[in-house]
Structure 1
């Protein structure tokens, strides 16, 4: 069980690097382990890099990491950490799926960094476990795996499964591990060494607060945008949004113009289109189903709005020719 004291030291971690993995979560996971060894003055943890075929792997930033072996070279007592990044669906092949299933049957602790939760979900080993994924991938992940218990937390540790959302959240996950296994004093010493204070709890949200994101703290504006974000599939009318906030529709309009320099209708549309782009790039949902999931009842209207905002049709976003006869083809970018 991940977080239980290891019977043998050092505890061995096997990092499985998938092509285009994100570098920051990987280094964020390894450095606390290294510094825990240093602070404890003994080898508490050990780690090695593996790839599906044993060949070097390029991260999304272009840095190439050498692997010590392929999946079959991973010892059965290792804690497995699958590391994902860009285009995770493209890099989720049958070899890694089959190996993860086999490792799960052997009772190994298996976790994911960043988008690699998608790989664990495809392997079917997250059922009955809480998990998380980077907030940008959360809508598509939830659509693809509606039966999973997915949270928006920084990280999740649930028995023999663990996941972190990416970025620096792996620091907090490993500090939680160190604290549970070797005491909070050692975890605090490691956190101070890497200038990471305070240590964040796993339940903390990934994204910055809504006022910080929109650059405004007007309470009614924040409340209205929160309602918009929670109702993308079935958009609320401006009159309903205004009434819920205790405003007239004219006051609502002025509020958005003053703080966001656009109308409420335009802002709401942009939220829905950005979610649509996320679903198009991160799921296998049909364009029609993406349109419905983002509050567009007409596929043609969705295509026109999408093209006007992103300068390409939803089909071309996926590298496909346009299927909407009302729209001209857009030159390849």
Structure 2
């Protein structure tokens, strides 16, 4: 019987079986980080034998799958011939380049959800899990970078279940991970459910990773935001960025961070020198200014996207910040000059 997701089954003697599905243009770092931790934790010494756990690359066919960096990996077996797994891991990558998950891949994911296997989506693997129809009622983690891509592709998603401010989320038999370095963290979290901590710690040390991050650790802050040291403040900033079109009120923000409003205000001011309200306004203004000089969207559309009631509201706030109207700001800073400034 599959172990309960909450209670550790450390010390299990049965080999843990992983089936790994690589999507077209998958991220090599996410894949290699995950599988290398399995490799190092699976055996003693430097033998790399699949003793404690085994892993199999599974695909629709045995045609090599190309990573986003150009390296190709050949599946070891096909979906039809794959045996049962304890974990089915779907590794994604680029969203806007080339084909996405095939119908056969989505069917394999859907069929795996009918078994006792736990499904794991790494990087944009969560998109494939969603397309396969296996995430209803589950919380899921996506990178802050792909949050709006996810909302756009799945407009019916309950945004209360969508997490873009943490490294990974474990919700019963669904695990989703933001990708990159966090793939090592989620692999460690999975292995700690089955093996002694010393086994996992040894593997992390060999990979020169000091310690695995917990799932509630914040994702790195988006570019352009002032860095904050305290993880609660960094998560607050990410939530502000994530909900820029429909800003969270202070009560809701504090609730999501499991803090009181007073605690949040005090900590935020100490870290950034600004109140949460002032910082949130700065994020909305900064994003609006970027959209004015990097897109052809109307001022009204930008105002709506950035959480302002209308273009007049944006205009008033813009004049306070920059001393000129949004249209004047756009004219004075052509897109080509803006692009050069950002390179």
**Normalising by structure 2, what TM-score?**
0.65
Equivalent of 1:269 in 272, 284, 288: 288
Instruction: Tell whether 2:61 aligns with 1:49.
Output: no
Q: CA deviation at 1:51?
A: 2.2
Separation in 1 of the partners of 2:77 and 2:102?
18
Match of 2:77 in 1: 69
Q: What is the distance in 2 between the residues matched to 1:291 and 1:26?
A: 39
TM-score, scaled relative to structure 1: 0.66
Task: Give the Cα–Cα distance (whole angstroms) in 2 for the partners of residues 275 and 125 of structure 1.
Answer: 37
Matched, 1:196 2:204: no
In structure 2, relative to structure 1, the CA distance for the partners of 1:309 and 1:135 (3 Å cut) is farther
Give the deviation of 1:309 after TM superposition. 6.8
Matched, 1:112 2:131: no
Q: Write the distance in 2 (CA, Å) between the matches of 1:160 and 1:227.
A: 25
Q: 1:266 to 1:193 in 2, by over 3 A?
A: same
Structure 1: 5+ residue runs without aligned partners? 236-243, 245-251, 253-262, 281-287, 312-333
5+ residue gaps, structure 2: 248-264, 266-273, 275-281, 312-325, 337-343
Distance 2:113 2:185 in 1: 24
Aligned residues: 274
1:73 is displaced (CA, Å) by: 2.4
Q: CA deviation at 1:265?
A: 8.3
1:10 Cα deviation after fit: 2.2
Structure 2 residue 162 is matched with structure 1 residue 150: yes
Q: Is the contact between residue 51 and residue 70 of structure 1 (CA under 8 Å) also seen in structure 2?
A: yes
Deviation at 1:179, TM superposition (A): 2.1
**Pair 1:82 & 2:90 matched:** yes
> Alpha-carbon deviation of 1:52?
2.6
1:207 and 2:220 aligned? yes
Q: State the 1:275 CA deviation.
A: 11
1:205-259 alpha-carbon deviations (Å, 9 max, x no partner): 111488x953699xxxx9x988973663268xxxxxxxx9xxxxxxx9xxxxxxx
1:4-24 Cα offsets, whole Å, 9 max, x none, are 649773212111011100000
1:14 maps to 19
CA apart distance, 1:197: 1.3
Cα distance change, pair 104–33 in 1 and its aligned pair in 2 (3 A): same
> Do 1:21 and 1:86's aligned partners in 2 also have CA atoms closer than 8 Å?
yes
Q: Distance in 2 between matches of 1:274 and 1:111?
A: 39
Match of residue 247 from structure 1: none
1:181 alignment partner, SS class: coil
Alpha-carbon RMSD across the aligned residues, in angstroms, is 4.5
